[in-house]
Structure 1
Amino acid sequence: MSRTIQATILRKQVAAIVQAAGSSPAEAEQVAANLVLANLSGHDSHGVGMVPRYVDAVAEGGLKPNASIRVKLDAGAMLAIDGQHGYGQIVGVQAMELGIARAKQNGSCIVSLAESHHLGRIGHFAEMATSQGLVSMHFVNVLSRPVVAPWGGGDGRFGTNPCCIGVPLAGAQPFILDFATSRVAQGKMRVAHNKGEHVPTGYLIDEHGAPTTDPGVVVVPQSNGLFGALMTFGEHKGYGMAVACELLGGALTGGGTWHRPADTARTVLNGMLTVLIDPAKLGTQAAFEQEATAFIEWLRQSPPGAGFEAVQIAGEPERQARATREQEGIWLDDATWREIVEAGKKVGVTVD
């Protein structure tokens, strides 16, 4: 049955499974904390529901516990990094820490990260950068079963390819724009399917290329053994952004793009191109702070539209969700919890 679990308990449960799958205690705790933070932030698609897939990926050999980054190129303000199939929650942080240090030193840094296992919520990396006063831009591709159709196409050809931009705001919480280039994240379809829900029209096409509201078409094989596909957001515009993420996050990083038939592997690899900028080194710090603050205030002065209480800034819904869920706990549907329990059993951990 579905249940609501406090974040502290859920972290321990997830860490126990990740550790039993082969990770060191420190790595397991960091992975668990990152996944639970995604749930707390309202992004259940990138939260603890990923644990069953991670356990399977370790068993496949596509996810390597206790792996660390390998720096392939160090050109000062440019870094090319190999994630070596390590947990994205680990190697992604390691890559960002290097990039942040270089951006603080040189004013900017371009970080190319390839061969990382699933990076999770990309906004986490933008939050790392903005906490140090840096602007960050992230372009990510996904090497896994293609689940998003190109504009004008009738089947999946690429992943949900997220894009993220973080901007620090003086005396305020940062602007954190983090979105999948599909109409909705694939993980959200898994959550909706597990809940037995349908989704709005325009999100999906079925295995025949026809519109559908059944999220199961991208979660489980259909009668002909094929899957449906997600649509991109914003029609041709979102499609263009998705292609840009594939070219920058996949081709430019050297991690590779998807151009082969789908498979059933549970491993999810990501490539991420990150651009970091230090406004203080750019010489525009004072103007940047003043103009950014003035613009945000200008936006907030807009009268609420029908059905809205106030204008919000990207990142605010996540921070509000964290405050609420820290108090009330994290709700998990029955199917997701059952999958986590089964994942624990695979590695000898009993979760109740």
Structure 2
Amino acid sequence: MADTIALSLSEVHQLALRVLTHHGLSGTHAEAIARVIVAGERDECHSHGVFRLLMCTRSLQDGKVSCHAEPKVTDRSAAIVVVDAQFGFSQLAFEIGSQHLALKARRTGIAALVINNCFHFSALWPEVESLAEQGLAALAMTPSHAWVAPAGGSRPVFGTNPMAFAWPRPGGHPYVFDFATSAVARGEIDLYRRSGRAIPPGWGIDATGAPSTDAATVLQHGAMLTFGGHKGSALSTMIELLAGPLIGDLTSMESKALDGDAGGTPCHGELILAFDPTFFSQGDARADQARAEQLFQAITDQGARLPSQRRFEARARSLAQGVRIPRALRDDVLALLR
């Protein structure tokens, strides 16, 4: 264990705040980001935990992210709320906009939150999970930078283009899944690069389109691949359209061009849909919820696990014991304070 160090969740939170405010981020933005970094580390989603501070500070140093942006809310219709993040990080814009989204979903049954002009670096499950905790089903999606080649291609077109869904469950954790439409999150490949390990086959290609297991080659000269071949490619295209042109924001190729190879956080939009199961029910919401539980039980009774089950188990451990992070990562993060 000498190559790792133990931290309490409070210490992770304070470390994130120190680094972010040291690099000029306002207190309200830093708090919102620190919360999702703690959540990632707490749930053992290591590529979305403390590691993300390296990306955040790189974006702040680059000067493209507004450190003091005040998200602007526009009530577009009875079912749509739009938040202009004013080129700040997305977390604060979501926290503000989700309050309006929840109210609209309860009034109309289904509602949409559009976030424009935001820099988004985190997983999507914190967004949808927070809505499920309020009794709403939720779906979120976003593009990123063009790092991923389409099925049969060799040049990056798509982002990692994650999509997340959550379903509320009485008396327990919600049903949640969150996955990139790429074969793996880009942060995972970067963790392999940092540790000098070869990545598994099927994650990426080199500049000629040939399969590669060298993380640096895939990240710097080649392209990542979608999961499931043409199926992942089609889903990635859908996310590009719904969270890009549909909401008047950038595609992953446009986001990458805006970045100018600075290696910063992607700038684009985000689309979140919320559904009120009670509103949609034909009169017996409890019976409908029970049928949903029967579906989950049919999965688990045969030994299969539900998505996020491992994450929730990790959460229980971290809440009781704290977390451990690589010592080298801790040193890199502390170097950001010098």
- Residue 214 of structure 1 is matched in structure 2 by 214
Q: Does 1:253 align with 2:243?
A: no
**What per-residue deviation string (whole Å, max 9, x for no partner) do you get for residues 91-118 of structure 1?**
1222222211211232221122121111
Task: Return structure 1 stretches of 4+ with deviation > 4 angstroms.
Answer: none
Give the residue type in structure 1 aligned to 2:323.
Answer: I
- Residue 271 of structure 1 is matched in structure 2 by 269
**Which of 80, 102, 106 is equivalent to 2:104?**
102
Give the residue type in structure 2 aligned to 1:274.
Answer: I
- Residue 336 of structure 1 is matched in structure 2 by 329
The alignment's TM-score, normalised by the length of structure 2, stands at: 0.91
- Residue 315 of structure 1 is matched in structure 2 by 308
Structure 1 regions of 5+ residues with no counterpart? Answer: 222-226, 303-309, 346-352
Structure 1 contact 194–336 (Cα < 8 Å) conserved: no
Aligned-CA RMSD value: 2.0
Structure 1 contact 195–335 (Cα < 8 Å) conserved: no
Greater mean alpha carbon deviation, residues 261-270 or residues 96-105 = 261-270
Q: Number of matched residues?
A: 330
- Residue 171 of structure 1 is matched in structure 2 by 171
Q: How many percent of aligned residue pairs carry the same amino acid?
A: 26
3-state DSSP of counterpart to 1:85: strand
Greater mean alpha carbon deviation, residues 165-174 or residues 2-11 = 2-11
Query: What is the alpha-carbon distance in structure 1 between the residues aligned to residue 105 and residue 227 of structure 2?
Result: 32
Please state how far the C-alpha of 1:119 moved relative to its aligned partner: 4.7
Query: What is the alpha-carbon distance in structure 2 between the residues aligned to residue 41 and residue 18 of structure 1?
Result: 21
Give the residue type in structure 2 aligned to 1:208.
Answer: T
Structure 2 contact 83–93 (Cα < 8 Å) conserved: no
**What per-residue deviation string (whole Å, max 9, x for no partner) do you get for residues 263-288 of structure 1?**
31213224211111111112342332
**Which of 216, 222, 226 is equivalent to 1:228?**
222
Structure 2 contact 69–86 (Cα < 8 Å) conserved: yes
Structure 1 contact 92–116 (Cα < 8 Å) conserved: no
Please state how far the C-alpha of 1:73 moved relative to its aligned partner: 4.7
- Residue 298 of structure 2 is matched in structure 1 by 298
Give the residue type in structure 2 aligned to 1:27.
Answer: H
Q: Does 1:121 align with 2:120?
A: no
Query: What is the alpha-carbon distance in structure 1 between the residues aligned to residue 49 and residue 222 of structure 2?
Result: 23
**What per-residue deviation string (whole Å, max 9, x for no partner) do you get for residues 33-68 of structure 1?**
211211111211122212122122123222112323
- Residue 36 of structure 2 is matched in structure 1 by 34
3-state DSSP of counterpart to 1:83: strand
Cα 1:190–1:326 change in 2 (3 A) is farther
Please state how far the C-alpha of 1:193 moved relative to its aligned partner: 1.3
Query: What is the alpha-carbon distance in structure 2 between the residues aligned to residue 26 and residue 276 of structure 1?
Result: 25
The alignment's TM-score, normalised by the length of structure 1, stands at: 0.87
Please state how far the C-alpha of 1:192 moved relative to its aligned partner: 1.6
